[in-house]
Amino acid sequence: MRRSIRRRYVVAATTAVVVVCLLLSGAAGFATRSPTARVDAVVQQLAAANGDASPDSITYVRTTRAAALRLLGSWSSGNPDEAVYVAVAHGTFDGAAMSHPAGAPAPTGTTLVAILDATTYQVTDVGLGNATPDLSKLQQPTGTSVST
């Protein structure tokens, strides 16, 4: 229970940072952008907050929370039928914006995975690691190359 409350706090704080960054970065018209542009903008901000301002790639699928959590082998509270985007970014992430125990090193990895509410585009879950989830198990992923 305590971990769940802490996780919600971290997710809320991360979401707030992303929203503020979008507003400050001149993301005018965010609400009128396509879903692809919205997911990309949020995930790029998450990537930048975690040490990689230019991830190699971002792919995502739209699915339900329950299907996303089954794929990721994770648990989270919330409506299992809620529509979400599961986004995967590849890069070099230092975990600067990730929660971790005091005194422990921040998590790092080459894969950032985020679950976004499909209506609000708020980040509900986020993690770093080196394994890439197979989004094609849910449906054909939409990809956006962001490397320069």
Q: Render pLDDT for 122-147 as a digit per residue (tens, 0 to 9).
A: 999 999 999 999 999 998 888 765 54
Residue 69, in any domain of the structure:
yes
102: containing domain? 2-140
Report whether pLDDT(5) > 50: no
| Domain count across the chain | 1
Looking at residue 14, what is its pLDDT?
57
Provide, rounded to the nearest whole percent, the portion of the chain with pLDDT above 90.
63
Could you tell me the two tokens for 121?
């585009």
Q: How far apart are CA 47 and CA 137, in angstroms?
A: 24
Report whether pLDDT(25) > 50: no
Q: What is the mean pLDDT of the chain?
A: 83
Contact present, 98 and 125 (Cβ < 8 Å) = no
Quick: pLDDT tens for 60-119: 999 999 999 999 988 777 789 999 999 999 999 999 999 889 999 999 999 999 999 999
Residue 148, in any domain of the structure:
no
Residue 145, in any domain of the structure:
no
Contacts of 95-101 with C-beta under 8 Å, sequence gap 24+, read: 95/50, 95/51, 95/128, 96/49, 96/50, 96/51, 97/14, 97/17, 97/46, 97/49, 97/50, 98/10, 98/50, 98/126, 98/127, 98/128, 99/6, 99/7, 99/10
Q: How far apart are CA 81 and CA 38, in angstroms?
A: 21
Cβ partners under 8 Å of residue 119, min gap 6 = 83
